[in-house]
Amino acid sequence: MTHVLFKRAIRDLKANLARYLALGILIIFSIYIVISLVGAASSTIDQTAYYDQKLHCEDGEFSVFVPLKEREKEKIEEKKVELEEMFFLDLTMKDQSTLRLFKQREQINLLSLKEGRLAESASEVVLERRYAEVNNIHAGEKILLGGKAFTVVGTGAVPDYNAVLKNLGDSTVDSKSFGLAFVIPDAYEQIRETGVSDKSEEYYYAYRLPGGYSDEDLKALLKKFQFSADAVEDTYFKEYWDRTAGNKDLLTGILGMVMPNSKSMVEKMFGDSTANLKMFLKAEDNVRIDAAADDVEINKTSGVFVGILLVILCSYVISVFVVHTIDQESAVIGALYSMGVKRKELLIHYIILPVIITFVSGALGLLLSFTGIGIDMQMQDNYNYFSMPVMKTEVTPFMVVYALIMPPVTAAIVNTLIIRKRLLRTPLSLLRNEQKLSKVRNVHLGHMAFLKLFKLRQMLRETRTGFAVVFGMFLSLLVAMLAVNIFIYCDKVRVRSVEETKFEYMYTYKYPSEKPPAGGYEALAETMKKDFGEYTFDVTVLGITKDNPFFGIKKFPKNKNEIIAGSGFASKYQLRKGDEFILKSEDGDMSYAFQVAGTVDYSGGFFIFMDIDQCRELFGTADDYFNAVFSDKKLDIDGGRLYNTMTKKDVEKSADIFINQMMATIIMIGTASAVIFIVVMYLMMKMMIDKSSFHIALVKIFGFRDREVRKMYLDGNFYIIAAGALLSIPLCKLILNYVYPNYLVANIAISYDNSFPWYIYAGIYAVILVLYFVISHLLTGRIRKMVPAEVLKNRE
Amino acid sequence: MYVEVSNIKKSYGEGGSYVQVLKGVSAEVEQGEMCVIQGTSGSGKSTLLNCIGGLDRVDSGSIRIDGNEIVGLKGEALSDYRRDNLGFIFQFYNLVPNLTVRENIQVCEYLTDEPLSMEELLEVLGLTEHADKFPSQMSGGQQQRCAIARALIKNPKLLLCDEPTGALDSKTSRDILVLLEKINARYGTTMLIVTHNNSIKNMVDHVIYLKDGEISKNYRNEKKTAAAELEDL
């Protein structure tokens, strides 16, 4: 029998080719989206881990005021800690871009070459690949470093600059204006001696820890290393030192005349200010390391989220088909059943076609994702932004299971559950195609015009179908609106980050001057930490002066712990006026409680604002201390004092990067979800209209005209779609408002309100209605052409 | 006796819509008999047939087929009973629409190890030339013949026919009845035929007349009329 019924399955496939083709397309695109997103993300994450190991990526890094003494290095190495100098010089190139010059690494953070070879002579250089690509520099070309010509012999990437950020506080990579260069030690020394560096040499060390020795252990050891300010070459440091901690001895002496324990008191006040350790950063906290892998976490999460949605959607569409088919063939099934055909045999028969179609579609979707428009396209975005070695595309067990096993298994399970339930009915019930009595269907409608009454009765009769259509629309709309949501969110980053940046220059000081430069507004910035789910973000507490015009704060709150929250911070942590929250100091030792007194538009990073004096008091700094200056024009500040300069132009330049970075994902989800949405709408509406076709033929035989028939049967469909869309759109948005910020962009330090402008809602609604009319026109055209007698005969 | 029905009761609904369709029906049909169950609409004749076929459950009573009790059978056992013993013919044929005549018959051929000859059956039922046609390409009579062939291919001991001529014109109805008569004679198949057609009672061995859920007449014909000679079909 299986053999005979298999013929039926093949003919069923031919007869309903459009339906099965549509189902196939739905699955192909679903698999394509998920595999492309998750495949690219998994490949990036796994390959990053592979290269971290292969290239001996650091466990962390630290910087010091003066290079470690041999004795100190030995002490570290006694602990079996691997240590390598990562000293660097920043060189300004002819095109005003900056190249950070390193010695070629030997043990830690090794170079992975993309092309060419490592530098071997004092006139050769290897460039970081993104800088070389963006600035169109190729192996064999010459560049000037410190006034001397160097031949570019290769390009490559290092794991400690996966995101080639000039400063750790930078939010975006700009490879046009910043890159890395690697030369042999002799060449490095020669350039250093020329003194052409923008600022003094930075003394960074990378380390790799042995088992059983922690970052904290190393940090504690490093804190014990003292330094002599005289040994520091940086003049700005010296000036700052003399003005602040350098006065410690003098202060101790003065206090000693009146207080016996003055030394310990001063030590306490200045803490570790004589310790050589300047900065200590674990690899896991370093935004430059594994940045691509961290970035694609969003894609992976989005992929899994979309994947779950699409599994539900596909299962649902299959189930609707199965129910529809079984309802149509109920009498035949009942007849076969009554002859002794067993449930298991019928089950296998009804399962076989969906299982084959879903398997083949899944395989096609998998193949599609391995073409140039799938995983590779997704990974290309990462190559275009991060400095990564060439990565292999991986086929993970998840991909195989999701693409090849999940679709047929889902089809088999859904079919089994539904068919079993249907076949549990008695053969007699199947023969009669008995339907459950519904109170809704039989509601008394009172007296009204015939056509109106009929239309209402038809809608009530088809409530189950209507619900199925609306639910299918809701699920596919959720995927489509996710694409819209991602685009609008990224566009907000592009537009608002520029709009909300009112200052032209923001200078962050390493060694502040005694007084702020003329024309600048002094500020005190203190970085703190706050957890968000499994992530921890930096939050900048910014103390500003009352006359600072760049953040739109007219009045500061009076209470000591009250702050004005930047809208990005408030949005990320769902904070409103009156809410309290806690921030932790960078080392996690101190906790600070704050209360939101108001919010102000600033979403580019996580900021909270307070009066600068209040801020100084909070962090126990001197009354005139500041470490940042805002200005609406360029100020005359020596570069050596600065840690970073951010201009509005930088913000404008980097504003597009976020959306560009997400564009492939947006295009992929957007296109695929549009196809999925159209297919689902087509399938659902086809089923809806198919169900009406017999009745339409019947009433046409009675003499009803096309216009009347449309009113009786098809207008109801329109109302169901129109009302369903009205309900589905806000419901989808509500779900996305919860899921998107909390899960899909949980790992990014930017947050905007997730709202859509009204015209987007109107546009989505209009698209649904237009789609309805197009699909309805196509489908009802077929019915119009159909001879009623033919419809009735086919029904038999 | 091949079919023994004892005091079966069957009701539908509850409260205000409660209807007792069979009120303690008892009857016996011998092996190889052609038996007609007649009655007006709502008399319970189809319900009786469905209960014998295991398509519907009785409230109480006993139904024995070839000495085996079928009341209380469930699931697989009920399927096995139907598979091993029964053939069904329905008023509206219920053929699989996208299988040809031959393939529709093959569906039930699979259910037995000793099917009748497909070619012989097609020949007997006059379907040889239609064997490769789909149901939609055939007339109602041809479709019903296909349904009969499907029911007979597994050589059932008991053929249950629910208004087999109900959807057919007089000439085609006669043809179908002639066929049933021929099959009964050729294969010795016991037949229970539910019909509202009064003429059919003259061609069968045994007539059971139901009225309001009770047997009002139950007799065997001493003289039968050949199906081909029936009038007023």
Are B82 and A793 an interchain contact pair (Cβ–Cβ within 8 Å)? no
Fill in the DSSP letter of residue A263: H
Q: Average of pLDDT values for A259-279?
A: 56
Residue B129 clears pLDDT 50, i.e. is over it: yes
* Minimal Cβ distance to A8: which of B88, B98, B150: B98
pLDDT (0 to 100) of residue A117: 95
Q: For residue A2, which residues of chain B lie inside 8 Å, CB to CB?
A: 110
pLDDT band for position A520 (50/70/90)? very high
Q: Is A334 exposed, middle or buried (0-12, 13-18, 19+ CB in 10 A)?
A: buried
Q: Are strands A82-85 and A203-208 parallel, antiparallel or unpaired?
A: antiparallel
Fill in the DSSP letter of residue A275: B
Q: Compute the mean pLDDT over every residue in chain B, rounded to the nearest whole number.
A: 88
Tokens of A727: 């309900």
B83 touches A at CB < 8 Å: yes
Give the whole-angstrom CA distance, residue A790 versus residue A793: 5
Q: For residue A335, which residues of chain B lie inside 8 Å, CB to CB?
A: 88, 90, 94-95
B185 touches A at CB < 8 Å: no
Other C-beta atoms closer than 10 Å to the C-beta of B17 total: 7
Other C-beta atoms closer than 10 Å to the C-beta of A229 total: 15
Q: For residue A1, which residues of chain B lie inside 8 Å, CB to CB?
A: 106-107, 110-111
* Minimal Cβ distance to B88: which of A338, A343, A426: A338
Give the DSSP per-residue string, B89-139: E-TT----TTS-HHHHHHHHHTT-SSPPPHHHHHHHTT-GGGTT--GGGS-
pLDDT (0 to 100) of residue A762: 95
* Minimal Cβ distance to B110: which of A4, A8, A794: A4
Question: Nearest CA to CA, how far is B103 from chain A (Å)?
Answer: 6
pLDDT band for position A265 (50/70/90)? very low
This complex has an ipTM of: 0.78
Q: Whole-model pTM?
A: 0.75
Higher pLDDT, A656 or A613: A613
Give the whole-angstrom CA distance, residue B170 versus residue B78: 36
Whether residue B208 lies inside any domain: the answer is yes
pLDDT in tens, A271-321: 445 678 888 889 988 889 998 888 888 778 888 888 888 888 888 888 888
A6 touches B at CB < 8 Å: no
Are B110 and A342 an interchain contact pair (Cβ–Cβ within 8 Å)? no
Question: Nearest CA to CA, how far is A334 from chain B (Å)?
Answer: 8
Residue with tokens 């170079």: A111
Whether residue B180 lies inside any domain: the answer is yes
Are B76 and A332 an interchain contact pair (Cβ–Cβ within 8 Å)? no
pLDDT (0 to 100) of residue A363: 95
Domain count along chain B: 1
* Nearest Cα residue in chain A from B74: A426
pLDDT (0 to 100) of residue A302: 80
Question: Nearest CA to CA, how far is B84 from chain A (Å)?
Answer: 8
pLDDT (0 to 100) of residue A718: 87
Residue A796 clears pLDDT 60, i.e. is over it: no
- Torsion sign across C-alpha atoms A761, A764, A770, A771: negative
Q: Average of pLDDT values for A325-340?
A: 84
Higher pLDDT, B92 or A359: A359
Whether residue B138 lies inside any domain: the answer is no
pLDDT band for position A608 (50/70/90)? very high
pLDDT (0 to 100) of residue A259: 46
B82 touches A at CB < 8 Å: yes
Residues making up chain A, counted from first to last: 796
Q: Are A334 and A430 in contact (CB under 8 A)?
A: yes
Lowest model confidence (mean pLDDT) among A262-266, A405-409, A449-453, A607-611:
A262-266
pLDDT band for position B179 (50/70/90)? confident
Give the whole-angstrom CA distance, residue B32 versus residue B185: 8
B106 touches A at CB < 8 Å: yes
Start-to-end CA distance of chain A, whole Å, equals: 23
Are A428 and B76 an interchain contact pair (Cβ–Cβ within 8 Å)? no
pLDDT band for position B233 (50/70/90)? low
Q: For residue A342, which residues of chain B lie inside 8 Å, CB to CB?
A: 76, 79, 83
pLDDT band for position A704 (50/70/90)? confident
pLDDT band for position A421 (50/70/90)? confident
Q: For residue B152, which residues of chain A lie inside 8 Å, CB to CB?
A: none
Q: Could you tell me the CATH number of the domain that includes residue B209?
A: 3.40.50.300
Measure Cα distances from B89 to A718, B53, B158, B179, B207 in Å.
Answer: 42, 11, 11, 13, 19
Q: For residue A787, which residues of chain B lie inside 8 Å, CB to CB?
A: none
Q: Average of pLDDT values for B87-95?
A: 85
Give the DSSP per-residue string, A15-73: HTHHHHHHHHHHHHHHHHHHHHHHHHHHHHHHHHHHHHHHTT--SEEEEESSPPPHHHH
Lowest model confidence (mean pLDDT) among A235-239, B20-24, B169-173:
A235-239
Interface size, chain A vs chain B, as Cβ–Cβ contacts under 8 Å: 87
pLDDT in tens, A732-771: 999 999 888 888 877 777 777 788 999 999 999 999 999 8
Element (H, E) at A654: helix A648-702
Sequence-ordered alpha helix ranges (H) in A562-647: 567-572, 612-619
The alpha carbon of residue A81 and the mean position of all alpha carbons in its chain are separated, in whole angstroms, by: 35
Q: For residue A431, which residues of chain B lie inside 8 Å, CB to CB?
A: 55, 90, 94
* Minimal Cβ distance to B96: which of A2, A332, A793: A332
The residue among A110, A54, A115, A59 whose CA lies nearest residue A82 is A59
pLDDT (0 to 100) of residue A504: 93
Residue B118 clears pLDDT 80, i.e. is over it: yes
Are B79 and A796 an interchain contact pair (Cβ–Cβ within 8 Å)? no
Other C-beta atoms closer than 10 Å to the C-beta of A558 total: 9
Q: Compute the mean pLDDT over every residue in chain A, rounded to the nearest whole number.
A: 84
pLDDT band for position A248 (50/70/90)? low
Whether residue B171 lies inside any domain: the answer is yes
- Rounded to 5°, the CA angle B63-B66-B72 comes to 35
Domain residue spans of chain A:
1-56+292-434, 60-285, 451-500+648-796, 514-636
The helix/strand/coil state of B5 is: strand
Give the whole-angstrom CA distance, residue A543 versus residue A551: 11
Cβ-Cβ contacts under 8 Å for A143 (sequence gap 6 or more): A93, A125, A127, A137, A149, A150, A152
A341 touches B at CB < 8 Å: yes
Interface of B with A in 53-72 (CB under 8 A): 53-57
Q: For residue B57, which residues of chain A lie inside 8 Å, CB to CB?
A: 426
pLDDT (0 to 100) of residue A463: 80
The helix/strand/coil state of B45 is: helix
The residue among B7, B48, B3 whose CA lies nearest residue B25 is B7
Lowest model confidence (mean pLDDT) among A756-760, A777-781, B58-62:
A777-781
pLDDT (0 to 100) of residue A308: 85
Q: Are A639 and A505 in contact (CB under 8 A)?
A: no
Give the whole-angstrom CA distance, residue A238 versus residue A228: 11
pLDDT in tens, B24-59: 999 999 999 999 999 988 899 989 998 999 888 899
Residues A514-636, CATH architecture: Beta Barrel (2.40)
Lowest model confidence (mean pLDDT) among A190-204, A430-444, A632-646, B187-201:
A430-444
Whether residue B182 lies inside any domain: the answer is yes
Q: Are A467 and A489 in contact (CB under 8 A)?
A: no
Are A339 and B154 an interchain contact pair (Cβ–Cβ within 8 Å)? yes
Other C-beta atoms closer than 10 Å to the C-beta of A211 total: 6
Q: Which of B79, B100, B154 to mutate to test the interface with A (most CBs of A within 10 A)?
A: B79
User: HSE of B74 in the Cβ direction (CA atoms, 13 Å)?
Assistant: 2
Tokens of B197: 């057609």
B110 touches A at CB < 8 Å: yes
pLDDT in tens, A176-187: 889 999 999 999
A336 touches B at CB < 8 Å: yes
pLDDT (0 to 100) of residue A361: 93
Whether residue B48 lies inside any domain: the answer is yes
The residue among A324, A360, A319, A326 whose CA lies nearest residue A343 is A326
pLDDT in tens, A617-626: 888 888 889 9
pLDDT (0 to 100) of residue A760: 94
Question: Nearest CA to CA, how far is A788 from chain B (Å)?
Answer: 15
Cβ-Cβ contacts under 8 Å for A670 (sequence gap 6 or more): A480, A483, A484, A487
Are A339 and B151 an interchain contact pair (Cβ–Cβ within 8 Å)? yes
Q: Are B160 and B53 in contact (CB under 8 A)?
A: yes
Give the whole-angstrom CA distance, residue A153 versus residue A299: 35
Give the whole-angstrom CA distance, residue A524 versus residue A629: 8
Buried b (16+ CB within 10 A) or exposed e, A10-43: ebbbeebeebbebbbbbbbbbbbbbbbbbbbbbb
Identify the domain containing residue B12 by its residue range: 3-91+157-229
Whether residue B145 lies inside any domain: the answer is no
A533 Ramachandran zone, left/alpha/beta (phi>0; psi -120 to 50): left
* Nearest Cα residue in chain A from B150: A339
Whether residue B96 lies inside any domain: the answer is no
| Amino acid letter, A690 | D
pLDDT in tens, A108-149: 999 999 999 999 999 999 999 999 999 999 999 999 988 889
A7 touches B at CB < 8 Å: yes
The residue among A279, A41, A17, A27 whose CA lies nearest residue A168 is A279
pLDDT band for position A415 (50/70/90)? confident
Tokens of A786: 């159909």
Q: For residue B50, which residues of chain A lie inside 8 Å, CB to CB?
A: 428
H/E/C letters for each residue in A694-739? HHHHHHHHHCCCHHHHHHHHHHHHHHHHHHHHHHHHHHHHHHHHHH
Q: Is A106 exposed, middle or buried (0-12, 13-18, 19+ CB in 10 A)?
A: exposed
Percent of chain A with pLDDT over 90: 33
pLDDT band for position A439 (50/70/90)? low
β-bridge partners, A544: A523, A611
pLDDT (0 to 100) of residue A89: 92
Are A338 and B98 an interchain contact pair (Cβ–Cβ within 8 Å)? no
The residue among A39, A515, A549 whose CA lies nearest residue A239 is A515
Give the DSSP per-residue string, A443-487: ----S--HHHHHHHHHHHHTHHHHHHHHHHHHHHHHHHHHHHHHH
Residue A339 clears pLDDT 90, i.e. is over it: no
A428 touches B at CB < 8 Å: yes
Residue A255 clears pLDDT 50, i.e. is over it: no
Higher pLDDT, B30 or A459: B30
Buried b (16+ CB within 10 A) or exposed e, A670-680: bebbbbbbbbb
Element (H, E) at A299: helix A291-328
Residue with tokens 């220059």: A505
Strands (E), A632-708: 642-647
Are B94 and A794 an interchain contact pair (Cβ–Cβ within 8 Å)? no
Give the whole-angstrom CA distance, residue A500 versus residue A751: 13
A220 touches B at CB < 8 Å: no
Are B107 and A341 an interchain contact pair (Cβ–Cβ within 8 Å)? yes
Give the whole-angstrom CA distance, residue A494 versus residue A657: 8
Give the whole-angstrom CA distance, residue B10 versus residue B63: 13
B86 touches A at CB < 8 Å: yes
Residue with tokens 């047997």: B215
Element (H, E) at A563: strand A562-566
Question: Nearest CA to CA, how far is A8 from chain B (Å)?
Answer: 6
